[in-house]
Amino acid sequence: MAAKGIIVHKNGDTWVVSCMINLVSQYFSAVKLDLKSALEQLDQDQDWKEIRVDMKQSDMLDSSGIGILVSLYKRYAKKKKGFRVINCNEFVCDTLRLCNLYEVFQVNQVEEPKKETKKEPDITRTSFFLVKYIEGSWFFSLQVDLNISNVATMRKELIEVFKEKHGTNTAWTDLIFDLEKIQTIDSASIGVLLGVYRRTKAVGKKFKIIGCNPTIYELLRAIGVNQLFPIEKQV
């Protein structure tokens, strides 16, 4: 049965009265008229136990609306029927609490959908790298130019970080080496990159180099590195 401001239907042994407009003085006459015709139907039916007033579509409640709810409650309390007010927003709940009716009406508050919190990337800083884990990919961003004097130290640090990250998270799919901050690269450094590629391949993952400046990009292509794994220029 549908009316202007009220929709009622029976669900098992429960009558549900859905308020489709705000229960405020502005609509008092219309709601009262709708309820009158709806309650005639309820009174003709003796085979039910509870009435639930659904406030999901009703955002506001003032003294006239409270009067309607109290009238309904008293009417069916005499007939020993249960009475509940459900799907109330925060404003309606607070209004009923102020009137000491929250427990009387066994109010059920609408649960606000939980906001998904964006997971912060896993970030590790070392002497040579800024390491990030983003959506299944490890990004190793090299922060220091490499040469014969520091490449051995970098290699040792890189192996330690690789073992640590792979040991605590095997769900990753790609290891991406970012050379954006690097100006030059020598043969020893290229050897380290090839070593990382072999380790990555050995555990069934993909390897890629990004952020190459034109000089490094052409050097890696000249020695055929791009035949083993993708390399990308700086954007």
Residue 49 corresponds to which amino acid?
A: K
- What is the number of other CB atoms lying within 10 angstroms of the CB of residue 5? 20
- What percent of the chain is predicted at pLDDT more than 90? 27
Pairing mode, strands 14-19 and 6-11: antiparallel
Task: Output 75 or 171, whichever has higher pLDDT.
Answer: 75
Instruction: Lay out the sheet containing 137-142: strands in order across.
Output: 122-125, 129-134, 137-142, 174-178, 206-212, 231-233
Give the DSSP H or E segment for 191: helix 187-202
CA distances from 202 to 165, 184, 205, 225 (A): 15, 28, 7, 17
Closest-CA residue to 60 (of 98, 24, 19, 100) = 24
161 Cβ contact partners less than 8 Å away, ≥ 6 residues apart = 124, 126, 129, 131, 140
CA 18 to chain centre: 30
User: What's the one-letter identity of residue 154?
Assistant: M
Question: Which pLDDT band holds residue 118 (cuts at 50, 70, 90)?
Answer: low
CATH class name, domain 122-233: alpha beta
What confidence score (pLDDT) does residue 2 get? 41
User: What ranges do the domains of the chain cover?
Assistant: 6-98, 122-233
**Mean pLDDT of the 99-108 span:** 87
Check for a shared fold between 6-98 and 122-233.
yes
With 0-12 CB in 10 A as exposed, 13-18 as middle and 19+ as buried, what is 48?
Answer: middle
pLDDT at position 123? 79
Please provide the size of the chain in residues.
235
Q: Using alpha carbons only, give the angle 167, 170, 175 rounded to the nearest 5 degrees.
A: 95
* pLDDT band of 1, cuts 50, 70, 90: very low
What would the mean pLDDT of 188-203 be, rounded to a whole number? 88
Per-residue DSSP letter, 115: P
Reported as a pLDDT band with limits 50, 70 and 90, residue 214 is: very high
> Cα–Cα distance between 39 and 48 in angstroms, integer?
13
Please name the residue that has the structure tokens 């309390």: 77
Collect all residues with Cβ–Cβ distance below 8 Å to 138 and sequence separation of at least 6.
131, 132, 165, 172, 174, 175, 176
Is the pLDDT at 3 greater than 60, yes or no?
no
CATH 3.30.750.24 fits 6-98, yes or no: yes
**Phi, psi dihedral angles at 51 (to 5 degrees):** -120, 135
β-pair type (206-212, 50-54): unpaired
Judge whether residue 117 has pLDDT over 70: no
